[in-house]
């Protein structure tokens, strides 16, 4: 029986993909942190002492919701990339295939009869 063969290139690609996914997640978390710590007045584009226009505030509120949905989508994509990197790294070990056992005719005819 042969020992499993390690694929070093596959391992490196897996680790690199995982690290790219983690870097993307950190970037998304930074964007989310900046979004959530931004004062509401500046997020909605309001100046101190300025009257609040309902139409403008509604449009900017929708834009803020769209930003949050985009952050969520970017986080999902980044986590999928990191997950794929882990799978690539885990699959870097290639096991040799065993030869299929020869089928005898009794077994084949019995299998066809069933």
Whether 11 is in a domain gets the answer yes
Whether 110 is in a domain gets the answer no
Whether 77 is in a domain gets the answer yes
User: What's the pLDDT score for residue 58?
Assistant: 79
52, containing H or E segment: none
Whether 20 is in a domain gets the answer yes
In angstroms, the CA 111 to CA 114 distance is: 5
Q: What is the model's pTM?
A: 0.63
User: What's the pLDDT score for residue 60?
Assistant: 79
Whether 72 is in a domain gets the answer yes
Whether 35 is in a domain gets the answer yes
Per-residue pLDDT of the chain (114 residues; tens, 9 = 90+): 555 666 788 888 989 999 999 999 999 999 989 888 887 767 666 677 777 777 777 787 888 889 889 999 999 999 999 999 998 888 876 655 666 666 766 555 555 555
User: What's the pLDDT score for residue 97?
Assistant: 62
Q: How many domains does the chain have?
A: 1
Whether 109 is in a domain gets the answer no
User: What's the pLDDT score for residue 21?
Assistant: 94
Q: What residues contact 5, with CB distance under 8 A and at least 6 apart? A: 93, 94, 96
In angstroms, the CA 46 to CA 53 distance is: 9
CB 88 within 8 A of CB 20: no
User: What's the pLDDT score for residue 73?
Assistant: 94
Whether 58 is in a domain gets the answer yes
Q: Which contacts qualify for 102-109: CB closer than 8 Å, 24 or more apart? A: none
Q: What residues contact 43, with CB distance under 8 A and at least 6 apart? A: 35, 60, 64
Q: Which domain holds residue 73?
A: 5-93
Strand pairing class (93-94; 5-6): antiparallel
Residue identified by tokens 């226009």 is: 53
């Amino acid at each position: 029986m042969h020992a499993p063969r390690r694929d070093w290139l596959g391992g490196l690609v897996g680790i690199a993909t995982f690290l790219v996914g983690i870097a993307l997640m950190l970037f998304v978390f930074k964007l989310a942190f900046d979004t959530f710590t931004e004062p509401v007045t500046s997020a909605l584009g309001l100046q101190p002492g300025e009257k609040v226009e309902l139409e403008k505030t509604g449009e900017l509120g929708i834009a803020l919701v769209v930003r949050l949905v985009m952050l969520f989508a970017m986080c999902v994509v980044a986590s999928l990339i990191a997950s794929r990197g882990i799978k690539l790294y885990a699959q870097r070990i290639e096991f040799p295939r065993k030869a299929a056992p020869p089928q005898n005719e009794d077994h084949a005819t019995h299998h066809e009869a069933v």
